[in-house]
Amino acid sequence: MLRGIYISTTGMVAEMDRQNVIANNLANVDTVGFKRDNVVQQPFAEILLNAYSKRTIRNIGPLGLGVQAVTEYPDFTGGSIVTTDNPYDLAIEGAGFFAVEADNGVKYTRAGNFIVDRDNYLVTKNGYRVLGQNGPIRVEGNFTVGQDGAIIQDGAVVDHLMIFSEVGMVKAGETFYVNDNPQLATEFRVIQGALERSNVNAIREMIQMINVTRTYDTNHRALMAHDETLAKAVNELVR
């Protein structure tokens, strides 16, 4: 009886976690370069056994105490590319991330809606400088960006964008990532005057939200049923 209560409760908590992730995905449906998140759920028994895998455990029979939302992971599927004709807007087609110089170290992003600051550095909306092979990229006057990331001014290549692979990327904000062991990307194409839209499909997310709500309600009804049964059992014992 108590086990049933635990199972229903963990199910409700797991669905609340999924709901939060889906809500965040929907909130960023129009965010440039945003990658939707998924949630991995794992049976609680498996989590418990994995935690004690190096210890000697006495077999006490089947154990099933619901599920837990273990982790979130980003879906790196590319979003659609839209033309803006703004020379400061850059999109990456294929696997790759721009590198930017943040306050606490290098971060990576797919959001290429850059601007130029007062010192003529190419920066993000947050003011983070975009990094090239020679350091922060500085542009003066007209410039073009080649598909390989080459920065061209007055017909000469002055720098190359640093484009990194998605391998090892860990989310650190809505559109930023960090990486302890960054690797340069090899298969990509930089498009100037364009932006990558969010890869969130609003209809799919809404369908998932409906499924989450139904599953949550099912677990809630089961919890109430177990609670009523437990209350009746306690009353019978009192008599």
Alpha helices in the chain (DSSP H): 2-27, 44-51, 202-238
Q: What is the distance between the alpha carbons of residues 49 and 68, in angstroms, rounded to a whole number? A: 14
The closest alpha carbon to 92, from 170, 162, 172, belongs to: 162
Q: pLDDT tens digits for the chain (239 residues)?
A: 456 566 666 767 777 888 899 999 999 999 999 999 988 766 554 544 454 454 444 444 444 555 555 567 899 999 999 999 999 999 999 999 999 999 999 999 999 999 999 999 999 999 999 999 999 999 988 999 999 999 999 999 999 999 999 999 999 988 999 999 999 999 999 999 999 999 999 999 999 889 887 876 776 676 676 656 666 666 666 55
Q: What's the pTM value of the predicted model, to 2 decimals? A: 0.78
Q: What is the distance between the alpha carbons of residues 209 and 199, in angstroms, rounded to a whole number? A: 17
Residue 141's Cβ-count burial label (10 Å; 0-12, 13-18, 19+) is exposed
